[in-house]
Structure 1
């Protein structure tokens, strides 16, 4: 059967494949508070497409404050039978030997009918990349994601036969790396269902199906050649997708869904998460989720900036938070001194070997 659809490789993005300077800095949150918190970081400029307001959290540098939080119900997303349908009208980019959809094109598409949550239109209207409880930043890829991917290679992290969770996945690149590393199962979670349907799932499919089956032609009748610098041959196939599950919703809700489901569930050997600790108000939810879902001998790999200006979170405050609860032991396994200092943290249960 001949599959033809509007699918393109963005050749202009190939020059950015080996650099991270073009990537935005990421801020995410799992919950919503009564106060609307805009992204504000120490970067060369504002996040593209946003108009951040300067702000401060008087309590953020000391201890997580207690605010009323709301919850987004958990939902599992089925993998479509027609995998190629998932890639329709997607423009692809590439970095770190991974394919991922062009977020700007997805945003334009979602302004029509694809965005049932309305997150894109509300983001555009409010000129913000974060609307607590509505849109939690999953339409962008943030630089600490690539820090963590680099670390996997440097530290020779092995995913073979491991059970892996990409928490706050967004584009899902961390989980896809684990999938290509022959993980036994990979689960993806993001706050927004639109992100899972329009970004995470297409990315997983694009990195699993045979490149030749979707690069050869597009709906405009033209042949679109693969990038001159081809990625390494994928080590997973469409069959690998059967080991994947995709979830949207707030962390605690997804945890409850997993633990109470009739489907067999075993805790994760490895949990991966990037820039999910920008807001101290969410530390409790993140800590509890990790404690519930991580295997007793498992490891968490967390990437973060030193400090998130305007909201008060950061690696050192989260490290202090974890230490005070005496459940996990933590260690800083990598420091990146480019621009605002960034960190990779490893976490494990205190009573693990």
Structure 2
């Protein structure tokens, strides 16, 4: 069973004007997955195990140079935000240079998803842009000096929502007075984390700090490229430490072990912080009933853990109203979470083109 899905998009990615190039919410499946307790069932193929990844090791594995483009997102008339993304052609060049399966790397071919192999992380999906727009309305929480903000993006891929929050935090949080900020980035595929997620954070930092740093100004030696010298990577690491920002990376299938790893990754409270506020993010993570069930169980476990510790927590989920051909839908997610006892609030709806929405889930 191949379990390969094509989501009906006319191109590989969201266009750089922040708009989707999708012609409609069509999903085709060459073979329908069979029922299973796991999120991404492939008979005879084990799911990737839950794994944590060390930031310093990941930084050491980056290439000497990366190429990038800018995604300009209009925040519904309230300004805009420009988010850098590593170019996919540059990822292909790196893989071919390393002779590490550049021609066959999952996710760099013609399929948006290959069930149990690759879960779409190299591409930026429309609902991730919807989440950025929703988050822009409440980003002021990043500057609260009395609370440790913790962001968890499940199925992060190119991590547009987390990148936006990271970029806003650089402007909103006072360097000397801010509490700690924890950003947890999780994707099924470790290659996605290494090849696009981390590079996008380095790019976002470098572009934001470029004007006041001769080191970074020199690193942008060519248009659309950033030199990742040892000095640049060291400066990035030192900046995170100075600003009390932690980046944590996790890969593998949603599972009990996955939840345990995330719950063990806690930012220590600093100063007189009274508590922690956790925001769980997920975009396009419920494209099938299997993914919907596992994702819902995961966010409930994380919300329950935070509630047990007396921390405020909520989940913001963006998805299409219906994924034709494989059965997932935002409405099913809302129904399921309400049946499980969650409070669900609809925050945003896109009625034109591909019908999508963003909802907030919390425990009473």
- Decide: shared fold, TM above 0.5: yes
Aligned counterpart in structure 2 of residue 131 of structure 1, from 114, 134, 152: 114
> TM-score w.r.t. structure 1 length?
0.71
Uncovered stretches (5+) of structure 2, i.e. residues with no partner: 14-25, 72-80, 174-179, 226-237, 270-274
Structure 2: distance between partners of 1:71 and 1:82: 22
Bigger mean CA offset, 166-175 vs 71-80: 71-80
Note if contact 1:56-1:312 (Cα within 8 Å) is conserved in structure 2.
Answer: no
Structure 2: distance between partners of 1:46 and 1:343: 22
Structure 2: distance between partners of 1:330 and 1:203: 31
Uncovered stretches (5+) of structure 1, i.e. residues with no partner: 1-33, 227-235
User: Structure 2 matches for 1:81-92, cutoff 5 A?
Assistant: 86=62, 88-92=64-68
Aligned counterpart in structure 2 of residue 286 of structure 1, from 290, 295, 316: 295
C-alpha RMSD over aligned residues:
3.7
Structure 1: distance between partners of 2:224 and 2:266: 45
Instruction: Give deviations 1:62-100, integer Å, cap 9, x for gaps.
Output: xx9546634311222222379597362311111232222
Instruction: State the aligned residue count.
Output: 295
Note if contact 1:178-1:186 (Cα within 8 Å) is conserved in structure 2.
Answer: no
> TM-score w.r.t. structure 2 length?
0.69
Matched, 1:249 2:282: no
* Structure with the bigger percentage of strand: 2
Using the TM superposition, give the Cα deviation of residue 110 of structure 1 relative to its aligned residue in structure 2, in angstroms.
2.1
What residue is the counterpart of 2:93 in the other structure? Answer: 108
Note if contact 2:27-2:326 (Cα within 8 Å) is conserved in structure 1.
Answer: no
Distance change (3 Å), C-alpha of 1:129 and 1:225 = closer
User: Structure 2 matches for 1:19-30, cutoff 5 A?
Assistant: none
Bigger mean CA offset, 128-137 vs 66-75: 66-75
User: Structure 2 matches for 1:309-320, cutoff 5 A?
Assistant: 309-320=324-335
User: Structure 2 matches for 1:1-353, cutoff 5 A?
Assistant: 36-41=3-8, 43=9, 45=10, 47=12, 54-55=28-29, 65-66=35-36, 69=41, 70-80=46-56, 86=62, 88-95=64-71, 96-113=81-98, 121-123=104-106, 127-156=110-139, 158-160=141-143, 161-180=148-167, 181=169, 182=173, 184-209=181-206, 210-211=209-210, 212=213, 213-217=215-219, 223-224=222-223, 237-239=239-241, 240=243, 242-252=245-255, 253-259=257-263, 269-294=278-303, 295-296=306-307, 297-326=312-341, 328-349=342-363, 351=364
Distance change (3 Å), C-alpha of 1:36 and 1:55 = closer
Distance change (3 Å), C-alpha of 1:267 and 1:251 = farther
Instruction: Give deviations 1:212-245, integer Å, cap 9, x for gaps.
Output: 5345356xxx64389xxxxxxxxx9443475111
